[in-house]
């Protein structure tokens, strides 16, 4: 067998490629490829467009239409978004395909250059057997499937042509749905904590409103002088304590908790002074 024509990894071709020899694509081809022999898309190779060949082996990336006279083989590293038309399609574990598959004996490639090449039929058979032995070395578990069932499939299809269409979609985004049930209870706890804080702050606001409504703020200087309250201690209590905290201190001392903030401070300072004396 002649050595295949190789399109290197650093090569990019846009247009039409045709020939009567094996071709291996390691770079990138955008356009149409028509061959009388085998097209191999190597790992790292990219083919975008229309492919017609006797046999197509996909190990890289293919996007477009693929037609083969004998078979299409998708290796484990194949990534194809294509409509495939061939009498026999072989797909290895791990290969990814999205598109339509049309299997039948009427899947021969309609190219004029292939008419004289197909008159001598024994030659392609010998080449097919040689490729079968090659695939046996690389993937020994699949060799019986390639060599023995192929002729019965073609004969059965010749008597009763059957065309099937299959669409395979590869979805790899399932793990994203897992964080949703985790987030919901967190939000629920945050809402309960916020509601608890709001419920705790509401009585404080009501107490402050009730205190502010009592009109006795103007008499603070006179009360301070009559009760001999330390001004510095008064200012310190004024800045450091809220009405709620002052009322809690007075409740601990069994003292009245009604009145303005100034009265509460004076009452508390007076109680402390009596306790010290």
> Which helix (H) or strand (E) covers residue 23, if one does?
strand 23-25
**What local confidence, expressed as pLDDT, does residue 251 receive?**
85
The average pLDDT across 148-161 equals 38
Q: Helices in the chain by DSSP H: which ranges?
A: 122-138, 143-147, 150-159, 179-212, 220-227, 231-240, 243-252, 261-276
State the chain's mean pLDDT as an integer: 68
**What local confidence, expressed as pLDDT, does residue 221 receive?**
43
Q: How far apart are CA 31 and CA 14, in angstroms?
A: 6
Confidence of residue 145 (pLDDT cuts 50, 70, 90): very low
Q: How far apart are CA 81 and CA 84, in angstroms?
A: 9
Query: For strand 100-103 and strand 28-35, is the pairing parallel, antiparallel, or unpaired?
Result: unpaired
44-63 tens-digit pLDDT: 999 999 999 999 999 999 99
Cβ partners under 8 Å of residue 268, min gap 6: 237, 246, 249, 250, 253, 255
**What local confidence, expressed as pLDDT, does residue 243 receive?**
84
205-250 tens-digit pLDDT: 444 444 445 545 444 444 344 446 678 788 887 888 888 888 888 8
160-216 tens-digit pLDDT: 344 444 444 443 444 455 555 445 444 444 444 545 545 454 444 444 444 445 545
**232-270 in b/e burial notation, b at 16+ Cβ within 10 A?**
eebeebeeebebeebbebbeeeeeeeebbbbbbbbbbbe
103-136 tens-digit pLDDT: 875 545 444 334 333 333 333 333 333 333 333 3
pTM (predicted TM-score): 0.40
Q: How far apart are CA 86 and CA 71, in angstroms?
A: 6
């Amino acid at each position: 067998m002649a050595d295949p024509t190789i399109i290197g990894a650093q090569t990019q071709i846009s247009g039409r490629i045709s020939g009567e020899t094996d071709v291996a694509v390691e770079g990138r081809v955008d356009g149409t490829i028509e061959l009388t022999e085998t097209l191999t898309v190597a790992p790292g190779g990219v083919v975008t467009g229309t492919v017609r060949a006797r046999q197509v082996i996909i190990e890289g990336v293919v996007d477009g239409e693929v037609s083969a006279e004998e078979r299409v083989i998708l290796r484990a590293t194949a990534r194809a978004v294509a409509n495939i038309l061939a009498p026999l399609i072989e797909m290895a574990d791990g290969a990814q395909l999205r598109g339509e598959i049309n299997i039948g004996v009427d899947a021969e490639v309609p190219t004029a250059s292939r008419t004289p090449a197909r008159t001598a039929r024994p030659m392609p058979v010998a080449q097919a057997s040689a490729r079968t032995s090659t695939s046996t070395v690389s993937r020994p578990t699949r060799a019986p499937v390639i060599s023995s069932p192929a002729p019965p499939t073609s004969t059965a299809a010749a008597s009763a042509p059957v065309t099937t269409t299959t669409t395979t979609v590869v979805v790899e985004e399932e793990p994203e749905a897992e964080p949703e049930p985790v987030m919901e209870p967190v939000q629920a706890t945050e809402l309960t904590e916020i509601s608890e804080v709001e419920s705790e702050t509401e009585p404080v606001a009501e107490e402050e409103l009730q205190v502010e409504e009592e009109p006795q703020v103007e008499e603070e200087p006179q009360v301070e002088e009559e009760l001999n309250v330390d001004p510095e201690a008064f200012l310190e209590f004024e800045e450091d304590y809220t009405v709620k905290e002052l009322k809690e201190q007075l409740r601990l001392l069994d003292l009245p908790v009604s009145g303005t903030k100034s009265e509460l401070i004076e009452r508390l300072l007076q109680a402390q002074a009596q306790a010290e004396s």
